[in-house]
Every structure is written in structure tokens, then in C-alpha cells.
Amino acid sequence: DAGVIQSPRHEVTEMGQEVTLRCKPISGHDYLFWYRQTMMRGLELLIYFNNNVPIDDSGMPEDRFSAKMPNASFSTLKIQPSEPRDSAVYFCASSLSTHGTEAFFGQGTRLTVV
């Protein structure tokens, strides 16, 4: 397996534009997580899914953020409209529900909103 795949790796967009980040988890993994990393706040969990169902979205900062998982092999994180303070690295991770298994992270998407 190629691991967790995120796209794009880098995104530069203008304030007010819609941004969509994509994630393909490791095949067979039933948990998917979206994290955001900034210098000020470190790594923050935004939302996670189990079997494609959102379980906890309490970390989603505002209604401008939304996430979907239409099937087991694909998830999106959308920001609409984007703002400069959304600039960060966004990571997707996946894991199995089996006791004690670790989470595997993608390489991240570096988002810059100008």
C-alpha cells in the first residue's frame, strides 16, 4: 500500500475562495482523521470518521469548514470561504479499529490563503 495519500501537497488561494483538500486512506482502515497544524496551536484534531460516518467534529473551527467521506477510500475537507487565518498544514490520517494499532499520517497539504 502507498500509505495515506493527500492532494494537493501545496495550495495557494485567495481569501474568499473555496478550497478542497483530498485524502485517500490506507485500504482496509476504518478510521480517518483530519488534523491541522500551525506554529501557534500545534497539531489539532478537526474531525474523525469511523466507517465513513463522522463521529466527532468538535474540532472543526467554524461553519466554513466541512468534511465528507462518501466512501471508504476517499475523504474531503472543504473550506468555504477561505480566510488568511486558515493557512496551515492539514494532515489526514487513518487507522484500524483493532486494539492498540497506530495511526498512519499522510504527507499533508500546505495551505496558504492570501
CB of 45 to other proteins, least distance (A): 5
Query: Residue 41 contacts by C-beta under 8 Å, 6 or more apart in sequence?
Result: none
Q: Is 25 in the site for other proteins (CB under 8 A)?
A: no
Q: Is 65 in the site for other proteins (CB under 8 A)?
A: no
Closer of 39 and 71 to other proteins (Cβ): 39
Q: In what order do the strands lie in the sheet with 65-71?
A: 5-7, 19-24, 74-79, 65-71
> Which residues in the chain belong to E strands, given as ranges?
5-7, 10-13, 19-24, 31-38, 42-50, 53-56, 65-71, 74-79, 88-95, 104-105, 109-113
What part of residues 84-113 is at the interface with other proteins (CB under 8 A)?
91, 93, 95, 97-100, 102-108
Count interface residues toward other proteins (CB under 8 A): 24
Point out which residues bind other proteins (CB under 8 A): 4, 31, 33, 42-43, 45, 48, 50, 55-56, 91, 93, 95, 97-100, 102-108
